[in-house]
Each structure stands twice: as structure tokens, then as C-alpha cells.
Amino acid sequence: MPKLKSHSGAKKRFRFTASGKVKYKKTRVQHLLAKKSSKRMLHLRKAGFLNKTESSILKRIMPYSK
């Protein structure tokens, strides 16, 4: 059976933790920063984690990840 290809967009945006959770960088942090409060920016700095349903979908499109 041939090798499966991983989804190129997903490879760039998501990482798997050692426990199998899916980690990603939050959006809306790159530009137009003057209007965003410091509290909002503080929360946007932290990594986001996908829920169980979305994680299972991602594991199908990235077959050789954990």
C-alpha cells in the first residue's frame, strides 16, 4: 500500500503534544494591534488546544503524527 500524504496546511498550523492533544497558535495577533487591549493580547499569546472531535478529524488528515 502506498504512503499517505499529510495535509500541507495542517502540517504548518498544528502540533501534537506528547499526550496526543493538538496545539495551535491563536489568530488575530499579527496586525492592527493598537486597538486590542493588553488583556486580550495576553490571552492570545497562549496556545490553543483543539477539542476531542476536531482532534479526531485532524488525526485523519495527518496520518503519521501521534
Q: pLDDT (tens digit, 9 = 90+) per residue, 49-59?
A: 999 999 999 99
Q: What is the mean pLDDT of residues 34-51?
A: 97
Query: Could you tell me the residue ranges of all domains in the chain?
Result: 20-61
Q: Could you tell me the pTM of the whole model? A: 0.83
DSSP per-residue letters across the chain: -PPPPPPHHHHHHEEE-TTS-EEEPPSS-SS--TTS-HHHHHHHHSPEE--HHHHHHHHHHSTT--
